[in-house]
Structure 1
Amino acid sequence: MSTNFEANLEKLGVTLPDAPAPAANYVPFVKTGNTLYVSGQVSMKDGSFITGKLGKELSVEEGAEAAKTCAIGLLAQVKAACGGDLSKLVRVVKLTGFVNSTPEFGEQPAVINGASDFLVVALGDAGRHSRSAVSAGSLPFGVAVEIEGIFEVE
C-alpha cells in the first residue's frame, strides 16, 4: 500500500473533515517532539452526533461504524496539527477507545475494531497500533464512542 495517505483515503471514499474545535476548555492536540497527542474525538456523521448505548440501542456493527468516524476525526486532527500535510504522519502509536455501553455489554474490543481496522486499511503498517477498549457508563452528548490517540509525526 502506498504511503500517500490522502490518496488511500480518497480510494476508500473518505474525505477528512475540517478538524473540529474543542467543546470545552482544552486543546484538540498537543505536540511534543515527534509525539502528537490528540484529544478524544466523538462519533459524528454529517455534522451530527452518533448517539446511543451499546448493548441497548446500538448493535456491535453500528458501534464499529461509530468508532470508524472517530478514527476519521483523529486523522483530521493529525492533519491540522501537521499544518495540513498528512504525509507528515509516521504512524499511529496508541488508541484509547471509550464505548458508551450497558454494564453487561462486553464487546468493547469489537466496537473499537471499527477504528483500528479502518486505520490499518487507510494507512497500512503505519496504522497498526497498541490499544485499549473500555466501557463507559455515559459519554459527552450521549455519543456512542469516543477515541483519543497518540501519533508519531515528522
Structure 2
Amino acid sequence: MTHPIETRLADLGITLPEAPMPAANYVPYVVVGDMIHISGQISMADGALIKGRLGDDLDIPAGAAAARACGLNLLAQLKAACGGDLSRVKRVVKLGGFVNSAPAFTDQPEVINGASDLMVEVFGDAGRHARAAVGVAALPRGVAVEVEGLFQIA
C-alpha cells in the first residue's frame, strides 16, 4: 500500500536518497516521545558534497539548491526514523539552517528557503515551520549549507 506522502513525493518527481551515515561521533536522529530531532544534514547530492561560500563562489539559486539537497537528506533520515512510513509525520516543527557565508552576504533566508519550500511541497500546511537561517564562516568539509530539523510524529 502506498502512503499519501510517498504518492506526493512521486507526483513531485522526488526520489529520496539513502539516509546518510554520520561522519563523526553522533547519531543521525533521536526520537523523544512524539518528536524526532534530526542531526544537521550537509549539502550533498548523488554522493557528492555541494561545496562553496555564498557571496563568493555561489549565488542564491545555487545556495537554495544546496539547502534543498539538505532537505532531501532530512527527509531520508526522517523516513528511516519513522520505520519507512512518512505518513506518521504530523508536522515539521522547526528547521535550523546554516549557510557558509562571505562576510557581506546577508541573504541566508533566501538560501534556506530551498529546504523550507521542500517541506511545504511535501507536507502541505503541516510542512510550515519555525526556522532559523544563520550565516557562518565555515561548515564541515567546506559545504555550502547544513540544515537540522525537528519533526512531530504520530
Question: What's the C-alpha RMSD, in Å, of the aligned pairs?
Answer: 0.9
| TM-score normalised over the length of structure 1 | 0.96
Q: Partner of 2:12 in structure 1? A: 12
- Residue segments in structure 2 that go unaligned for 5+ positions in a row: none
Percent of residue pairs bearing the same amino acid type: 59
Q: Partner of 1:149 in structure 2? A: 149
Instruction: Provide the aligned length of Structure 1 versus Structure 2.
Output: 152
Q: Partner of 2:110 in structure 1? A: 110
What is the CA deviation profile of residues 6-35 of structure 1, one whole-angstrom value per residue up to 9, with x for unaligned ones?
111111111111111100000000000001
Aligned to 2:13, the other structure's residue is in SS state coil
| Aligned-partner Cα distance in 1 for 2:26–2:43 | 18
Output the amino acid matched with 2:138. Answer: S
Alignment of 1:2-151 (within 5 A): 4-151=4-151
| Aligned-partner Cα distance in 2 for 1:137–1:124 | 33
What is the CA deviation profile of residues 29-53 of structure 1, one whole-angstrom value per residue up to 9, with x for unaligned ones?
0000001100000111111000000
Following TM superposition, by how much is the alpha carbon of 1:121 offset from its aligned partner in structure 2, in angstroms? 1.2
Aligned to 1:132, the other structure's residue is in SS state strand
Structure 1 segments, 4+ long, off by >4 Å, are none
